[in-house]
Structure 1
Amino acid sequence: MRFRSLLALGSLIAAAQTAPPPGGKDPWSDKSWHKYVRSPSSDIVKPARILSENTTGDVSNPDGMINGKKPTTLSRKSARDDVPSVVVDFGLNVVGLLRINFDGSESTSNDSLPGLRLAFSETKEGLTDKSDYTRSYRGVHEEDKLTNGTDQVAVSNEKYTWVDKLGCEHERKVCSDGLHGFRYLRISLDALEQDAPYTTSLGSVSISSIELEWSAYLGTPDTFIGWFECSDEDINQWWYDGVYTVDTNTDYFFKNETEPRDAYSPTLDGKWVIHDGAKRDRDPYVGDLAVASLTSYLSHDFPEATRNVLEDLAIHQRADGWIPPASINNYTLPLFDYPLWWVVCSVDLVLYTGDTDYADKYWSVLVKTLDKYYPPFINSNGILDKSNGYGDYAFLPRSGPITYYNALYIHALQYAAQLAEHLGHQEDADRWTERASSIAPKLLARNFDDKAGAFFDGGPCPNAEAGTVCDVHAQDGNSIAILTGVTNDTISARILDYWAETTAQPYGNAFYDNSILSPGGRFAERVYALISFFELAARFRTPGSETSAYEEIRRLYGWMATHDPEVTQWEGIGPGGVSYQGPFMSYAHGWSTGIVPLMSNYVLGVTPTAPGFSAWRICPVVRGDLLWAKGVVPTSGDGDIKVSWVKDEDGKGLRVQFEAPEGTEGVVCVPDTGGSISVINLDGETQSLEDMVLKVKGGKHVLTLKP
């Protein structure tokens, strides 16, 4: 009954459908999608408002620093007076260096200047007298532990501009952490005892204006080379919110602004990367790129940020073939799955951007990963069997023949084989295809739970004997097993039905069906949009499950869009629909932007099958309540792939217009409309009802379906 009630909720919150796109020869000329773009218009970002309900103490003209009419002044005459403070709201998560234009100060002491304490937070919940996160919280070396949760300013008497840069004004006193990712800023007239004698909590400070020096990729409308729009206003906005989230993560790698736990690397210094969060960890993890880089490729022409990360990890490959997940801990964090994500992301880079030079340069690294590192873990039953200890994206305590590790290995082998064929490495392609084909049926036989209709996670319960199978099922392995073809359509549908009935929450589907692996972690109530991406992709790919994808999308992305801080997409969602890590969690995390590839790769249906989209598939998913969809998918060739589909007024017929660059070729799938079709027409010629996949050349085409 719980799932049925959530389905009803999903239908109620579905956005109003907008009218079909303009007809004519070019449905892509309309720029109506510009209104959804979230990026600041320039690299100087102004605040949106003052939260008046949070103002305390003696603060005159609190809106002055926003509207510029008169300076905002914070005053405190006695230690008995309330601490004056004001909260600034930038309207959405931003990232960069805070800049305050002071109109001067007055001090009650000849030896000290009035002190300001600055506390940053992505959410109101995390907005206290300390920041929700600072680099100093995570520093492993004493020189990195500069602050105690706030950035400090000793405000001079004259007019001047202060910029929040990492460092201290007086040796280890009056210190700041520099760059922040945040939405809210609390400014308090206050001083730390350890900053004496340089600052005092008494006196007055006047602020004429406040702004942010934006540090990340500035994704204004003119930077978009790919876009999406459909009949659902909410889905449109979430697509562009996903792009904005990755924009905030795309930034330079600088020692003073990155993860302080031994993540600095001279081989990355000064380069563009995609960090795993705007606030934290600010270190590029390759697993995050499995989604974040797709979002980047499908929107902006900036593959440099992804290539820099993949190259850096490749040159740090270990002798046994293992590839580190990130630079953290001097490239030693022991994750078992991330070398496979490096393979997948490397293939993505080449297929989406046509960068075959990268493939040629690092092909031996890819071969070593697949053929040297993982085969020793294949057990006597022919499947991967991981030893004890954490080893994945969520640091989960699971070991043994885990479904997720095996399904991901199959995916990496298949995907690498696809690229190998195009690059002339046929022996590699044959070997990897054979290995994937060997593991798949053995995984199904060993780990599929026919009673539940889903794969077991595959390992033992905590403290149980090795070789036993814990009665728990995970979203990651089940979803990727479907996508890699380990299951047929019947079993895939059983898995997806089980997952919907068992794990549905108002804020998405949980990544486990129970919490036995870590009762305190409450896994059965935790949602990762990263892993939900693969489940949603499986729903779009499994006949009859497409409509359920939209219902889940509206719960997951609708929740993040309507709960503080809104707009940007969260690292995870915990019990009750809040952070599973408190204010520390990242609320702008690129791995959660799967809404972008879901719409472009599945609803528009465009995917590359050869480097740079020199060959492609256009297989739109039209079942569900969308009335129309259109957009552009960028290629590395002379032109882009454009798709526009519109349902007939009665919902039974369909018209699909698409264009692809001349000199390329591909296939177009006849979409499943959910009803019977009696006429299939491509470019004016009637097609056989038996041909559901049609070969086409680059150029302009029209496909129509009639009941």
Structure 2
Amino acid sequence: MSVSENAGTGPERRAVLKAGIGGAALAVTGLGTVAARPASAAELPPLAAGRRDGKDWRSYVRAPAGRTVRPVRVVSSTGDVTDADALLKPGGGVTVLTRPAPVAPPAWPQGTTAAASSTHAPNSGDDGTPRTYDASNAIDGDPGTFWNDDTIGVYPDTLTITAPQAVSLPGVTLLSGSDGVPTDFTVDTWDGTAWRTAATVTGNSDVQRPVPFASPVSTTRVRITVTGDQQTSAGEFTRVNEVYPGVVDPVAAPGVLVDFGQVVVGFPTVRFAWASSGNPGVRLAFSETLEYLTDRSDFTRSDQSGGQGQGTDQFAVPSAGATWTDDRRGYRSGGNQVYADGLHGFRYLRITLDALAADAPAARAWGKVAVDTVSLDFTGYLGTPDTFAGWFLSSDDDLNRYWYGAAYTNELVTDTFRTDDVDPRGADSPTLDGKLVLHDGAKRDRDPYVGDLAVSARTLYLTHPDASAAARDVLADLADHQRDDGWIPPASINGYTLPLFDYPLWWVTCSWDYLLHTGDHDYATRYYPALGKLLDSWYPSVTDGDGLLNKGLNGTSGYGDYAFLPRSGQITYYNANYVQALNDAAALAGWLGHTADADRWTARARSVADAINAHLWDASAGAYLDSATGDVRHAQDGNSIAITAGVADPTRAASALAHLDATTKLPYGNAFMDNDTIFADASKRVYAFTSYPELVARFRSGQADSAVDQIKRTYGWMDAHDPGTTNWEGIGPDGTPYEQAYTSMAHGWSTGVLPALTRDLLGAEPTAPGFTTWQVTPHPGTVAWAQGRLPTPHGPLTVSWDNPGSGAFTLDVDAPHGTTGTVAVPVPAAGQRFTVRLDGRTAWDGTRAAVRGARLDDGRLLLPDLGPGRHTVTVHPAGHR
């Protein structure tokens, strides 16, 4: 979540931040802005160099060295495969997959029928072809069709097959889809008067499961009763593609599973050296985790639009071989055969000699295929050490690793908007095609959402500001699609119509954040009218008599939010977000000289904040309610943003954070709700998206060690579990991906650890558009040292500090020309004497300021109006040498 530049612990801090926007106060020398004092190298500690104590920030960078990325290991192979490791050695031989022609499975006699307890309703694919799921598909001899029951998690599901005359069965074989395998079922046969159980199966996970009977049975009817199915992101449902009247042992399809070492994104390329005649097919399955890689991908865009590829990408290999790049979505043969999905985000890739039944004769499932190499054309931002304009390094190796893992996650989603690559659910847009954007995820949804930008854009500005157009393109495009009533869409999905209640507020905050980092005056002036229309037209239309946003007014009862939560009425999160957006809008208006707007929005922000405290504070819990009505619960999002937006005073802030500590702490982060009244297991779900403002709230409320602990639980969990490195969309019960295979395991909205460490632990951030003014307020906790560089339009702002303990502290800042700033260093607790020196001169003599403007505030000494160049501040407790 984005945190506004004037968010903090109260009016004192806001006054400090605003001091440099409209003209600084007299400088501490009395002669203007404090200039850096020339000094010899011996007088000042070494400036941050990006290397210390054997650590070098460059060693943590995770992006590949070039656009062509190759797998790093072979995980396993199945079936008849020779020299699987050759895939890792370009020019070092070939991997050969061999599969004999299949023996035709037994078929039911003509006139056999099938009936089921329920049947899922038909639908159509993108090509308009009707797809049916009725029971007859289980006996039609086509494994590409299937029966689906019409209930999710409701049992039993029954399939009854009736033959026109008695058949002798040694057993049966169930062929199912990998996303609906019956795990527990019985097979009954009809003896003419009653059903007899012929076999019972439990714990099945095989797509093709032979079920032999104890002895052959002669019968006219077979009943399969399913009492358990595999769990998928869509729920538990029964899927049976075929029931063969006999025992058919599966022949393992030859395949190789390779690992690219971490999530990558782009166009997979496979070089085939040769193949047998008849166009043997290969199927490619992709997954970000091993757990959700089966004979199909964890997710494909065709899953969202009719399932043409049935979970894999297909290619028919010519006998002369070919170099195939999976670079477009669609059919590759005959107009409706051999489907591939194009771009993929994945870590693991399985290549199998196989073909869909529907692809015959263009591709067949047997023969020989020789694979020379496998690679990927990487399409994300290539974040090599020489591209990082900003960096971070600290004494804590875990924090360093998480910072660069977040940077890499964000690089994966910084990409060109392309028709074939984006969410197929009406998200393609001619006004975005070909432009650089920030997608939400590497594998899905692959559409730019403005709420995601509240985190991912800030991560981008702090690492690769040369790509800041990726944020501007999205913000401008959404404003260009503003509705007549002032509402701004959250994304291009569904033709810019997806109704979200909170995301227009994020558009305001993201716009201000963009300006803080870039100073793009043209953007500000062009889209200022859209901002005014949103805040003075649409949001007032959903404001109630208490002065609070009220979801349900003006036809908004069906609107969602970042998690499509069933919330309505007065919600703390929406209203705290409103305060944040109003203050951000006021700052933007002030910068453009629209003082009346700035004053009006500032006054409204105060009024909404007062109403939140009057109507949504739960004194008994010591935290803000999620909703003023209905079940009592307290949410991470509302409580955290109430603190960062300045709604909560320090007492309420401390109380709310204590409540979250007591009710939401998990081994894998802090849950976003303190109970399960909004949905089952809500108190076990962690969103890094809503964890970011809580991290900021903890740092800025003097709880740095608590923030670091939360970082290590949240990001440490993701770093230690497959796929490693990248940041998950959400974490569910027991630390699992919260929507199983559907979960995006590389999601830009989860990269808040990076701005939290740079802006709050290191402590540096802009306070006026274009970084013309800045602030450095370290929150070190028990971290021994940190250093970093922030890119600005004027050049880098470099910061380094040492925190040796006992109240001593050294801060080193090198600021670019054209900027001024404020530093606020931590000082010993009240009652302990100390002195502070600024550039070798006394700034605090132990009892009072020795330079103009220096003052104590909430455990810090503030030194305003520092000019460009090198500055060093040292805190010396009494008796410390």
1:146 maps to 2:168: no
| Counterpart-to-counterpart distance in 2, 1:383 and 1:159 | 66
Correspondences of 1:432-511 after superposition (within 5 Å): 432-461=601-630, 470-511=631-672
* Counterpart residue number, 1:628: 785
Give the whole-Å Cα distance in 2 for the aligned partners of 1:176 and 1:587.
Answer: 22
Aligned partner of 2:568 in structure 1 is 399
8 Å contact kept, 2:459–2:755? yes
Q: CA deviation at 1:673?
A: 5.9
Assess, with a 3 A threshold, how the Cα gap between structure 1 residues 256 and 704 changes in structure 2: closer, same or farther: same
Once residues 101 and 533 of structure 2 are traced to their aligned partners in structure 1, the CA distance between those partners, rounded to angstroms, is 68
Q: Secondary structure at the match of 1:428?
A: helix
For 1:245-324, what aligned pairs fall within 5 Å after superposition? 245-300=409-464, 301-324=466-489
CA distance in 2, matches of 1:189, 1:179: 21
Residue 90 of structure 1 is matched in structure 2 by 260
In structure 1, what is the equivalent of residue 93 of structure 2?
70
Amino acid at match of 1:65: L
The 8 Å contact of residues 827 and 875 in structure 2, kept in 1 or not, is answered as no
Whole-angstrom CA distance in 2 between matches of 1:389 and 1:236: 42
The residue aligned with 1:686 is 842
1:665 counterpart = 2:823? no
Larger Rg belongs to: 2
Query: 1:641 maps to what in 2?
Result: 797
**Matched residue, 2:537:** 372
**Cα deviations by residue, 1:595-635 (Å, 9 ceiling, x for unpaired):** 11001111121111111110111111122x21000000111
Q: Which has the higher helix share?
A: 1
- Which of 845, 850, 867 aligns to 1:697? It is 867
Q: Which moved more, 1:510-519 or 1:277-286?
A: 510-519
Contact 1:622 1:673 survives alignment (8 Å) = no
The alignment of Structure 1 onto Structure 2 pairs a total of residues equal to: 662
| C-alpha contact (below 8 Å) 1:351/1:610 kept by paired residues | yes
2:551 alignment partner, SS class: coil
Q: Distance in 1 between matches of 2:511 and 2:457?
A: 10
| Alpha-carbon offset, residue 386 of structure 1 | 1.2
Is the CA contact 1:115–1:191 (under 8 Å) kept in the aligned structure 2?
yes
Q: Which residue of 1 aligns with 2:285?
A: 119
After TM superposition, the structure 1 stretch with the greater mean CA deviation from structure 2, 501-510 or 673-682, is 673-682
- Once the two structures are TM-superposed, the CA of residue 271 in structure 1 deviates from its matched residue by 0.5
Instruction: Give, in angstroms, the shift of residue 672 of structure 1.
Output: 4.8
| TM-score (normalised: structure 1) | 0.92
Aligned-partner residue type, residue 456 of structure 2: A
CA distance in 2, matches of 1:285, 1:385: 23
Q: Which residue of 2 aligns with 1:5?
A: none
Residue 673 and residue 291 in structure 1: after superposition, are their counterparts in 2 closer, same or farther (change >3 A)? farther
Task: Verify: 1:420 aligned to 2:589, yes or no.
Answer: yes
The C-alpha deviation readout for 1:148-171, integer Å capped at 9, x for no partner, is 111011111113211113222211
CA distance in 2, matches of 1:459, 1:449: 9
The residue matched to 1:116 in structure 2 has which SS? strand
Contact 2:704–2:761 at 8 Å: present in 1 too?
no
Structure 1 Cα separation of the partners of residues 543 and 868 of structure 2: 43
Q: Give CA-to-partner distance per residue, 1:182-201, whole Å, 9 cap, x none.
A: 00011111111100112222
What are the Cα deviations for residues 200-244 of structure 1, in whole angstroms up to 9, with x where unaligned?
A: 221111111110011111111111100000001111011011010
- The 3 A distance-change label for structure 1 pair 151 and 660 is same
Q: Spell out, residue by residue over 1:62-113, the C-alpha distance to the aligned partner (whole angstroms, 9 max, x if none).
A: 1101123221111112436321111010000000011011111114xxxx31
In structure 1, C-alpha distance between the alignment counterparts of 2:45 and 2:624, rounded to whole Å: 48
CA gap 1:386/1:81 in 2 versus in 1, 3 angstroms: closer
Indicate whether 1:572 and 2:742 are aligned. Answer: no
Structure 1 residue 500, shift from structure 2 partner = 1.0
Q: CA deviation at 1:24?
A: 4.3
Counterpart in 2 of 1:600?
Answer: 758
Instruction: Give distance in 1, aligned partners of 2:321 and 2:402.
Output: 42
* Counterpart residue number, 1:11: none
Q: Is the 8 A contact 1:389 1:398 kept in 2?
A: no
SS at structure 2 position matched to 1:132: coil
Correspondence for 1:526: 685
**1:96–1:452 distance in 2 versus 1, CA, 3 Å:** same
Moved more, 490-499 or 650-659: 650-659
Per the TM alignment, residue 431 of structure 1 is displaced from its structure 2 partner at its CA by: 0.5
- Partners of 2:629 and 2:604 lie apart in 1 by 25
Structure 1: gaps (5+ residues): 1-22, 462-469
Q: What SS does structure 1 have at the residue aligned with 2:868? A: strand
Cα distance in 1 between the residues matched to 2:788 and 2:362: 57
Which of 60, 70, 73 aligns to 1:49? It is: 73
1:583 to 728, 734, 741: 741
One-letter amino acid of the counterpart of residue 298, structure 2: D
Change (3 A) 1:370 1:700: same
Match of 1:539 in 2: 698
SS of equivalent residue, structure 2 residue 591: helix
In 1, Cα distance between equivalents of 2:364 and 2:352: 12
Could you say which residue in structure 2 is the equivalent of 1:174? 338
Q: Does 1:188 align with 2:352?
A: yes
The 10-residue stretch of structure 1 (247-256 or 689-698) with the greater mean CA deviation from structure 2: 689-698
Shift of 1:390: 4.1
TM-score after normalising by structure 2: 0.74
The structure where strand makes up a greater share of residues is: 2
Deviation at 1:682, TM superposition (A): 1.1
1:551 corresponds to? 709
2:258 corresponds to 1:103:
no
Contact 1:98 1:212 in 2 (8 A): yes
Report the counterpart of residue 9 of structure 1 in structure 2: none
Establish whether residue 653 from structure 1 lines up as the match of residue 808 from structure 2.
yes
1:223 to 387, 401, 412: 387
How far does residue 687 in structure 1 lie from its aligned partner after superposition?
A: 2.3
How far 1:376 sits from its partner (Å)?
A: 1.9
Query: 1:662: how far off?
Result: 2.2
Residue 192 of structure 2: aligned partner: none
Matches of 2:672 and 2:354 in 1, distance apart? 44
Partner of 1:128: 294
| Aligned-pair CA distance for 1:445 | 1.2
> Does the 8 Å CA contact 1:245/1:569 hold for their aligned counterparts?
yes
Match of 1:339, as an amino acid? Answer: P
- Which is further off, 312-321 or 665-674? 665-674
Q: How far apart are the structure 2 equivalents of 1:234 and 1:307?
A: 32
Structure 1 SS opposite 2:706? helix
Q: Gaps (5+ residues) in structure 2?
A: 1-43, 103-249, 849-854
How far apart are the structure 1 equivalents of 2:560 and 2:387? 37
Q: Secondary structure at the match of 2:473?
A: helix
